[in-house]
A and B are shown apart, each in its own frame.
Chain A
Amino acid sequence: MNLDIVTYAIPFLLVGAKTTLLIALFGIVLGFPFGIVVGLGRGSKNRVLRNICDSYCAIFRGTPMLVQIFIIYYGLAQVSFIRHNPVLWWLIGEGLNAAILAVVLNTGAYTAEIFRTAFLSLPKGLIEAAEACGMSPWHVFTRVKFPLALRQALPAYSSEAAIVVKESSLASTITVLEITGYAKRLMSETFAIMDIFIITAALYLAMNVVALTALKLLERRLSFVR
């Protein structure tokens, strides 16, 4: 490894890491509750709502994230209604905002799938017991259904969180310079392909390890058996 190139590359990649973290953090913080809401919608008794949520999930899980990010950034910018609406234009027009929107919508669909199965797997007896105690539907949800479903869903969600970190790399295709974007630039600039790859991979692995460890700790805290 060439030390000059490493010292030259690391500051750039750290700047990129900040953007990656920003996108991933927004993706998890916004995508998690959004996914839960959609997951609940897929289990609702209202047929229209259920169909809307089902097709949203099918579409976003069935197409590549790259297509989604291109439709949001390049495609929607063509619609004049969106161009003339300041709020929507702020959301779509800026590369970073469009990337965050795409990540949130994408991870929302996968999170919804995880939580739908988690809500389906809840034992019926517990919910009936809660209802027999006279709990309101809201209380049944916040005190019984949600805590149990969260425990069910966490292991699957932790791999989804790692996927969010990786998917944020697609922001580099719409001019947002995050880790992968800088890595590409540095690779074609310095030709030290392997060196740059090793540093970049180490950064991604570090982020994933931190995210996975945090979720594992949460999982252990929430589990019944300590």
Chain B
Amino acid sequence: MLAEFWILMVERGWALALLRGSAVTIAIGLLGMFLGFVVATPLAVLRWQKVAVVSQLVDSYSIVVRGVPGLLVIYLLFFGSVDMVKTVATAFGYQDSVDNAYPYIVGVIAIAAISCAYSIEVIRGALQAVPYGLLEAAKSLALPTGITFSRITFPLALRLALGGINNVWQMTIKDTSLISVIGLQELMRTAAIGAGITRSPFIFYCIAAALFFGMTAVSQTLFSRAERALNRGFGAR
């Protein structure tokens, strides 16, 4: 049993393939999370300021994406853009490079769109939780609105949002597994290919589960450490 496992993983090189898949998963997760967060921050501020029309639009985007399975969002983006991209790419003669890069682009956008919807809620909640007295103090010091936001509201909100960001990140890294359905070669897809070729799905999917578990466990410890660092000076919680 153990010898078989050794041959499968090392001599046939599946261990390397699975590790490469994990690297792709982490890269897509980080990129998607980062993009989502960057887009979510201004949207959350608009939502927080209750800007008419925009605020409602942001709200409905977040409700729809959060109420619909991630798989469906991925199908929408994949099928919805495959035609357009193909015609554009063929017109410019980049057919091959687009065929290779396409799942990555759609994958990152889909993950970003999903994590963005959740991030909006997290950031908005954190912005609302910033104590009003501090903002009044800033106003009485005659600080301009921009400075108040960048020096007081945002840093304080970031600390409050960390727990929520941790949740969104855990969900995002798990959601990257869904991208495998459109053929992106990340961890889940690699495991599925290995399972098909070697006819031993049990081992491959268990290894994939273990790798995912490792990722979530490591990021959990990192986030707890960051939380402790950010809460220094705010008293024991």
Name A residues whose Cβ lies closer than 8 Å to a Cβ of B. Answer: 58-59, 61-68, 70-71, 74-79, 162, 166-170, 172-173, 180, 183-184, 187-188, 191, 193-194, 197, 200-201, 204-205, 208
User: Shortest beta-carbon distance, A210 to chain B, in Å?
Assistant: 12
Contacts of B195 in A (CB 8 A): 74
Q: How many A-B residue pairs have CB under 8 A?
A: 110
Q: Which listed segment binds A: B33-41, B44-52, B71-79, B152-160?
A: B71-79
Q: Which listed segment binds A: B87-95, B96-104, B177-185?
A: B177-185
- Do the beta carbons of B177 and A66 come within 8 Å of each other? yes
CB-nearest residue of chain A to B80: A193
CB-nearest residue of chain A to B215: A62
Q: In the A-B complex, list the 10 residue pairs whose CB atoms are closest, starting with the nearest.
A: A169-B69, A75-B202, A64-B177, A74-B201, A64-B174, A62-B216, A193-B80, A166-B69, A66-B177, A62-B213
- Do the beta carbons of A180 and B72 come within 8 Å of each other? yes
> Which one of A75, A162, A187, A194 contacts B206 once the chains associate, using CB atoms below 8 Å?
A75
Known pairs A64-B188, A74-B201; A193 contacts B209 (CB<8 A): no
- Do the beta carbons of A208 and B76 come within 8 Å of each other? no
User: Shortest beta-carbon distance, B103 to chain A, in Å?
Assistant: 16
Contacts of A74 in B (CB 8 A): 195, 201-202, 205
Contacts of B64 in A (CB 8 A): 201, 205
Contacts of B176 in A (CB 8 A): 64
CB-nearest residue of chain A to B202: A75
- Do the beta carbons of A63 and B75 come within 8 Å of each other? no
Contacts of A76 in B (CB 8 A): 202
Task: Mark out the residues of chain B between 156 and 215 whose CB falls within 8 Å of any chain A CB in the assembled complex.
Answer: 174-178, 180-181, 188, 191-192, 195, 200-202, 205-206, 208-209, 212-213
What is the 8 Å Cβ interface bit string for chain B, positions 51-71, against chain A (1 contact, 0 not)? Answer: 000000000000110011111
**B217 on interface, CB distance cutoff 8 Å:** yes
Contacts of A201 in B (CB 8 A): 64, 67-68, 72
- Do the beta carbons of B181 and A173 come within 8 Å of each other? yes
- Do the beta carbons of A78 and B201 come within 8 Å of each other? yes
Contacts of B175 in A (CB 8 A): 64
Known pairs A71-B205, A71-B206; A204 contacts B67 (CB<8 A): yes
Contacts of A184 in B (CB 8 A): 75
State the CA gap A180–B69 with chains docked (Å): 8
